[in-house]
Amino acid sequence: MIKVGDKLPSTAISTVLAGETEATTTDQLFAGKKVLMFALPGAFTPTCSAAHLPGYVVHADEIFAKGVDIIGCLSVNDSFVMKAWADAQNAEQITMLADGGAALTKALGLEMDSGDFGGIRSRRYAMLVEDGVVTALELEAPKQFEVSGAEAMLKLL
């Protein structure tokens, strides 16, 4: 499992920002930037839609004011689902990270098998990444939402 001080693994990822989808890599996306990336089990799911993503939408300006270049929301969903979810949540400032095949999630060692819920999904967490290196990692206990929300991450900034 990835830990503070580790460099992010190099994988392909799709981004959705302000309605535009782009195929990129983690190397390109994180190079020379301060990124607050949070991950969740699935788009349109209860806690993710009612609290996790909305907190980052509400606090985006405060987070950017603290020197963050990108706020990224990672989920093991395809880019079409992530775009629809961003539209439904008014998440224009959030870079949606579509990890459809879970390549990044698995490379980070932060996957979980949710069984009938959707198979391999991401665990819930938030991390700060500076120039591709993890500087903070807040991993939630199973079925919890306490340390990875926008308010908690603002305190770390």
Task: Give the C-alpha separation, 111 to 92, whole Å.
Answer: 27
| Residue owning tokens 């020379």 | 32
CB 75 within 8 A of CB 48: yes
If you count them, how many residues does the chain have? 157
Distance CA 71, CA 57 (A): 9
d(CA 117, CA 138): 23
Identified catalytic residue from 48, 70, 110, 127 = 48
48 included as an active-site residue:
yes
Residues annotated as catalytic (active site), given as ranges: 48
